[in-house]
């Protein structure tokens, strides 16, 4: 069973979002997603200070068997990227909600966050039937 922390928000494309105290959002991919992808070998991070709209592709996670796009969960400007992943993409596998975070975003409209799923509905709809 994959881990789905209850204090995070989720998207149907398997990103998680954490609202930080300063109002910025930290984004990563879920434990379920990293499990499906397998061992990650390369992560193409989004451009720092790039502005992205909700649902647009902003980075790529590549495993030995697949490469998947990561979509921006909430419109905004990318204010930080996790440079540690350049040399250690496996952090996404070992700690998807911690050291394996992908990027931080300064949202245009924080209310967009309410449109994302909570842990229960993500589990029910997208991460339930796992081997």
Partner 1 sequence: MPFIPHTPEDTKEMLAAIGVNSIEALFSEVPSALRANTFNIPDGLTEMQISQLAEQRAAEDSGVSCFIGAGAYEHHIPAAVWDIATRGEFMTAYTPYQAEASQGTLQLLYEYQTMMASLMGLEVSNASLYDGASALAEAILMAVRANKHAKAKRVLLPITVHPNYRKVVRAIVQQQGIELVDVAYNKQTGCMVIESLQTFNHQDISALILPLPNFFGLIEDVDSLTNWAHSQNIMVIAVVNPTAMGLFKEPGQWGDKGADIACGEGQPLGIPLASGGPYFGFLCCKLDYVRQMPGRIIGRTTDLEGKPGFVLTLQAREQHIRRSKATSNICTNQGLAVTAATIYMSLLGYEGLRRVALASYQASHQLLAKLVQIPGVQQVYKSTYFHEFIIRLPYSAGEILQELAKKGIQAGYLLSNDYIGLEDCILVCVTETKTPQDLTNFAQQLAAILAEGKAC
Backbone angles phi and psi of 85, in degrees to 5: -75, -15
63 near partner 1, judged by CB under 8 A: yes
Tokens of residue 82, six digits: 């996790």
Q: Which stretch binds partner 1 (CB under 8 A): 19-27, 41-49, 77-85, 121-129?
A: 41-49
Burial of residue 130, with CB atoms counted within 10 A of its CB: 0-12 exposed, 13-18 middle, 19 or more buried: exposed
Least distance (Å) from partner 1 to the CB of residue 41? 8
Helices (H) and strands (E) in the chain, counts: 4, 9
69 near partner 1, judged by CB under 8 A: yes
Q: Which residues contact 68 (CB under 8 A, 6 or more apart)?
A: 33, 37, 60, 61, 62
86 near partner 1, judged by CB under 8 A: no
Q: Which is nearer to partner 1, 67 or 84 (CB)?
A: 67
Burial of residue 10, with CB atoms counted within 10 A of its CB: 0-12 exposed, 13-18 middle, 19 or more buried: buried
47 near partner 1, judged by CB under 8 A: yes
56 near partner 1, judged by CB under 8 A: no
90 near partner 1, judged by CB under 8 A: no
Site size for partner 1 (CB under 8 A) = 11
Report the residue from 13, 18, 44, 77 that binds partner 1 according to the rule CB under 8 A.
Answer: 44
Residues that bind partner 1 (CB under 8 A): 41-42, 44, 47, 62-67, 69
């Amino acid at each position: 069973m994959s881990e789905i922390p209850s204090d995070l928000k989720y998207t149907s494309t398997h990103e998680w979002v954490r609202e930080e105290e300063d109002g910025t959002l930290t984004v990563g991919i879920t434990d379920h997603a990293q499990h499906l992808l397998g061992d990650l070998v390369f992560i193409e991070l989004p451009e720092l200070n790039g502005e992205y709209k909700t649902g647009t592709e902003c980075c790529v996670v590549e495993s030995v068997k697949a490469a998947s796009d990561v979509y921006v969960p909430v419109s905004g400007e990318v204010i930080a990227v996790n440079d540690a992943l350049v040399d250690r993409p496996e952090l996404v596998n070992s700690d998807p909600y911690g050291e394996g975070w992908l990027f931080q975003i300064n949202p245009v409209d924080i209310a967009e966050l309410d449109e994302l799923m909570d842990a229960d509905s993500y589990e029910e709809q997208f991460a339930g039937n796992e081997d």
